[in-house]
């Protein structure tokens, strides 16, 4: 492997390292710093979702708001994942990439406004 190829892949390797190291360190730290009670309390065994106890497993029902929020998170998370590599090579790709990403963000903004106007982001009981 020549040094030139390594120079091209170095930002990707650093990004990949952090993408693996951050979640791994969070999992490790949860085991290191976890305070576990000697016996499990009843409250610990009841399913818990977004700050609301949902009761026993057989009575558990999730509204569509949970799924819509998860999908919106995934969409905007993927947007950020795509923005970083373009920012790294912006000088090489020029204004074409800036225009394409502006269009991409505009589509996401229109989708976000649509979802907001439909009331999908409102939490109701």
- Provide the pLDDT for residue 105: 85
Q: Once rounded to an integer, what is the mean pLDDT over residues 40-50?
A: 62
> Is the alpha carbon torsion for 12, 16, 22, 28 positive or negative?
negative
Query: Has residue 92 been placed in a domain?
Result: yes
Query: Has residue 104 been placed in a domain?
Result: yes
Query: Has residue 70 been placed in a domain?
Result: yes
CB-based contacts of 53, cutoff 8 Å, min separation 6: 43, 46, 47
Domain count across the chain: 1
Query: Has residue 119 been placed in a domain?
Result: yes
Query: Has residue 74 been placed in a domain?
Result: yes
- Provide the pLDDT for residue 22: 95
Q: Per-residue pLDDT tens for 51-97?
A: 555 555 555 566 677 777 788 888 778 877 877 887 788 788 888 87
Between 43 and 69, where is the model more confident? 69
Q: Which domain holds residue 87?
A: 62-125
Q: Per-residue pLDDT tens for 17-38?
A: 999 999 999 999 988 887 666 5
Q: Is the pLDDT of residue 106 over 80?
A: yes
- Provide the pLDDT for residue 42: 65
Q: Is the pLDDT of residue 118 over 70?
A: yes
Bridge-partner residues for 48, per DSSP?
Answer: 53
Between 44 and 7, where is the model more confident? 7
Q: Once rounded to an integer, what is the mean pLDDT over residues 101-112?
A: 86
Query: Has residue 23 been placed in a domain?
Result: no
Query: Has residue 91 been placed in a domain?
Result: yes
pTM of the predicted model as reported, rounded to 2 decimal places: 0.43
Q: Is the pLDDT of residue 16 over 90?
A: yes
């Amino acid at each position: 492997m020549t040094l030139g190829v390594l120079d091209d892949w170095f930002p990707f390797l650093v990004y990949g390292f952090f993408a693996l190291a951050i979640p791994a360190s969070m999992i490790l730290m949860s085991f290191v710093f976890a305070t576990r009670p000697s016996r499990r309390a009843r409250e610990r065994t009841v399913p818990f979702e977004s700050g609301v106890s949902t009761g026993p497993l057989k009575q558990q029902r999730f509204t569509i708001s949970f799924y819509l929020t998860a999908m919106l998170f995934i969409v905007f998370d993927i947007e950020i994942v795509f923005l970083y590599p373009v920012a790294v090579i912006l000088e090489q790709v020029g204004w074409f990439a800036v225009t394409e990403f502006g269009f991409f963000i505009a589509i996401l903004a229109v989708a976000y406004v649509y979802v907001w106007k439909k009331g999908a982001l409102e939490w109701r009981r």
